[in-house]
Amino acid sequence: MADSQLGGGQQVLYLPEGSSRLLGRDAQRTNIAVARAVAHAIKTTLGPKGMDKMLVSEMGDITITNDGATILEEMNAEHPVAKIMVDIAKTQDKEVGDGTTSVVIMAGELLNGAGDLIEQGIHPTTIIKGYKIAADKASDILQEKSHDVKVEDDATLQKIAMVSMGSKNVGDDATKAHLCKLVIKAIKQVMGKDASGKVIIDHEFIKLEKKPGKSIADTDFIQGVLIDKEIAHPGMPKSMKDARIALLDVALEIEKTETEAKIEITSPEQMQAFLQQEENMLKNMVEKIKKSRATVVITQKGIDDVAQHYLAKAGIIAVRRVKKSDMEKLSRATGGKIITSLDDLNEGDLGAAGLVEERKISGEQMVFVEKCKDPKSVTIFIKGGTQQVIDEAERSIRDVIGAVSSAIETGWYVLGGGAIEIDVATGLRAYANEIGGREQLAIQKFADAVEVIPKTLAESAGMDAIDVLVQLRNKHRTKDGSVYGVNIFKNELGNMNSLGVYEPLKVKKQAISSASEAAEIILRIDDMISSRGRAPAGGPPGMGGMGGHGHEME
């Protein structure tokens, strides 16, 4: 593509044959429409009475979920703006682990409001400026309305966890409470502090293992690590109490030479000597392990049949080809060091576990390394009737891990049920009156967009959304009205404080920040160019699918 200059300073843009282009208002209208369509697709999943979506892949695999990030990730999003919406859900999920549906719905509403203002003749740059001001002010209001929570406050953490779990279809309230308790226990077990004394929680060290069988209520907490492997040799013990564990990144087998080597054997005696030499080398490896007084060997690499025989003869349990990530978890759980040379192995490097045992779960052998003393890596073993059930339970537990971790790391929470959103919207409308110029119109639209959360909660409960919004706004103008939100179980307004509907401050801040940034990026685009020859089909008419790239042109 090239442009040339005509006489009189007129510029002409040459496009390749078969290209199509959206300019100015058309580009903005299309982008806003796509963003709203994505938001609308997951809007009905919000809240405890939200609906599920069934996603069917081309291979026929079925996923049933109401997790925003999962739905968006599995959707076949072709349009570049749809991909931006998917990305903000991924960012929300990665940063705080919860609030993925809220952030996408809010971004869709921000763009909807911006579309109204653009139609009224307000320039996108003015709207973007207003949205930036509103996002900063919203963050201040959130902080002002937040309450502190301590690590020791299990009751408050349980309420935060239950709100995160509330919208998930994973059994009754007793089952959800059980899962939430397991998550809080796991987080407290693995959390640590950095050099400045700030609490840090690495989610990688809370292993989620799942197998169909029994029910979700039978989900277990394992004080250690569960390995989806079996014991290497049938002659080895199947259980070992007070185990001393050697963690190896060493192959207990004769490795092939890296360069080509040729061995000439001219007699049976030489062959026998060669084989005996190999066996002696393997026996020597096992002797080094025995010398360290290890009773369990777990290695990332392979174990030769001969080595297995000698280990079994010595009464040592061996597990081979364990994933690197599981080896790191085992190291943190047992306190053992991962050894890369058997010559370096000594008793001080061994890890410890109260019990190492092989058990048959749903027809498959698994090795439990449990009853570890103060492990810094633990496992939640998820069970359930079908694969779809345990998959959704896993997603739910990940959301709860994110929510509770966010509350512990920042130490603040806000009232849920739409209460905090009404507070933010009320504060923004008052603030808009103090701001001169057209930016105040954008701030008011931002306030409207934030209110989409209580509005959607009311809609999913079958309530009249407009009536609910009016009642909530009136309540929040009174002295003690800030505690009121949508009690969807009784289809009325309720005191969120007494109901214990708490959400982490970090989740709300991240949602408003990400939604605002996504809206700003999309509003800046005023030119989209796509070649019909290269773009996949299925996009808006005249855009050749817009599956390629959207370009911002100046």
Catalytic residues: 67, 100-101, 399
Residue type, 47: G
Residue type, 106: M
Tokens of 109: 């509403």
DSSP state of 123: -
36 and 108 in contact (C-beta within 8 Å)? yes
Farthest-apart Cα atoms in the chain, separation: 100
Rg over CA atoms, the chain: 30
Tokens of 515: 């939604």
Q: With the C-alpha atoms ordered 115, 118, 124, 129, is the resulting torsion angle positive or negative?
A: negative
* CB neighbour list of residue 305: distance below 8 Å, 6 or more residues apart: none
What ranges make up the beta strands (E) of 292-350?
Answer: 296-299, 317-319, 338-339
Of 274, 259, 253, 279, the closest CA to residue 342 belongs to 253
Of 343, 358, 239, 238, the closest CA to residue 289 belongs to 343
**Environment class of 518 (CB within 10 Å of its CB; exposed 0-12, middle 13-18, buried 19+):** buried
Tokens of 7: 């006489």
- List, as own/partner pairs, every contact residues 538-543 make where C-beta atoms lie below 8 angstroms and the sequence separation is at least 24, other chains included: 538/78, 539/78, 539/79, 540/30, 540/34, 540/79, 542/20, 542/22, 543/20, 543/22, 543/30
Q: How many CB atoms lie within 10 A of CB 165?
A: 24
- Rounded to 5 degrees, φ, ψ at 20 are -135, 160
Of 516, 422, 373, 443, the closest CA to residue 142 belongs to 422
Quick one: the chain helix, strand, coil %, rounded to 5? Answer: 50, 20, 30
- List, as own/partner pairs, every contact residues 342-350 make where C-beta atoms lie below 8 angstroms and the sequence separation is at least 24, other chains included: 342/248, 342/250, 342/285, 342/288, 342/289, 343/288, 345/246, 345/248, 345/288, 345/289, 345/292, 345/294, 346/292, 347/244, 347/292, 347/293, 349/246, 349/292, 350/244, 350/245, 350/246, 350/292, 350/293, 350/294
CA geometry: angle at 513 spanning 509 and 517, to 5°?
A: 170
